[in-house]
Structure 1
Amino acid sequence: MAGRRGVVAGAATLVAALGGLALLATALLTSFSVARRWATSQPVQGDFELVSLGSGLAVLAFLAYGTLRRTNILVDSFTTWLPRRAARIVDAFWMLVWAAVALVLAERLLVGARETLRSGTTTMVLGLPTWWAVGFGAFGFALTAVVAAIWVVRLARGDE
């Protein structure tokens, strides 16, 4: 990830771009469904399920890229007076906490994906299986954890 390049950075960027496409698709679907409802009094069947899935996947797809760019929520009002090195250590600590949280969430979502696959859980209207969406969530959080761990090392070394 040197200079925000490399395999991990490329993966985070690609996943975010795919998330952007998913979000665009949900916006287009919503627009089409509203127009269809206006014209024919019939929405696209299952539109709310598809929008929920697409929006959720987009958010999960953006997490790693946001962490890569360090554009996630940062509260530095208490560390602006610290010397730069001390502020980096504090940032590294909180990035480590974020990496741990993301890793736990990834593991829990992986368990959830296996369970929804085993139980055959589907959406209510369209009957779409949901295990793959939960599995993508696990992947999104795992990638986020890797990006955050790389930032921990970079911040601790002063390689920001």
Structure 2
Amino acid sequence: MAAGVVLLATAGLTTASVLCRWLLGQPIAGDFELVSIGSGLGAFGFLAYGTLARSNILVDTATTWLPARVNRGIDAVWMLVWTVILLVLAERMAQGALETMRSGTTTMVLGLSTWWAVGIGAACLAATAVVALCWCGWLLRGRG
């Protein structure tokens, strides 16, 4: 839900900035910075839900003839691969957040600190890894 709210706010900011540019000849200062941060956080925010709903792209053309149990096993292996990838990315982003905080990196126009956004992205990836790992267990137990 929070990701949806962030994306709606981002869309509203974009609309307001375009209107300001059209009516007043000036956009909202830092609009592109806020839109880029908001879009990134919105996308990261939807990853865990997408994984929970298994709304990712499934290519099963070559395995439809196999028994359901075998297909669940294959899906569990790939979900485990997804979990490992997510954990690596979450760890790297967490390191990036710490480094960004230490270096005092800010946005160009508004001077906003960016470490918190990177940290939220890392937390979203970690949450998605937890969901993916749950799916591994569910698939191996016959659910899915």
* Shorter-chain TM-score tier: over 0.9
Aligned AA (1:143): A
Query: What whole-Å deviation, never above 9, does each CA across 1:120-158 have from its counterpart, x for those lacking one?
Result: 001111110000000001101000000000000100110
Query: What whole-Å deviation, never above 9, does each CA across 1:49-74 have from its counterpart, x for those lacking one?
Result: 00000000000000000000000122
Structure 2 Cα separation of the partners of residues 93 and 141 of structure 1: 19
**May I ask how many residue pairs the two structures share in their alignment?**
144
Q: What value does the CA root-mean-square deviation take over the aligned residues?
A: 0.6
- Report deviation, 1:76: 1.4
Query: What whole-Å deviation, never above 9, does each CA across 1:21-52 have from its counterpart, x for those lacking one?
Result: 00000000000000010001100000000000
Moved more, 47-56 or 76-85: 76-85
Structure 1 Cα separation of the partners of residues 33 and 52 of structure 2: 30
Structure 2 Cα separation of the partners of residues 73 and 49 of structure 1: 30
Q: Which residue of 1 is the match for residue 71 of structure 2?
A: 87
Q: Which residue of 1 is the match for residue 97 of structure 2?
A: 113
- Aligned residues: percent identity? 63
Aligned AA (2:83): A
Gaps of 5+ in 2: none
Residue of structure 1 aligned with 2:50, choices 58, 66, 89 = 66
Aligned AA (2:53): R
- 2:131 is the alignment partner of 1:157: no
Gaps of 5+ in 1: 1-16
Superposition TM-score, scaled by structure 2 size? 0.98
Q: Which residue of 1 is the match for residue 7 of structure 2?
A: 23
- 2:48 is the alignment partner of 1:43: no
Superposition TM-score, scaled by structure 1 size? 0.89
- Report deviation, 1:159: 2.2
- Report deviation, 1:81: 1.4
Structure 2 Cα separation of the partners of residues 151 and 123 of structure 1: 38
Residue of structure 1 aligned with 2:83, choices 96, 99, 102 = 99
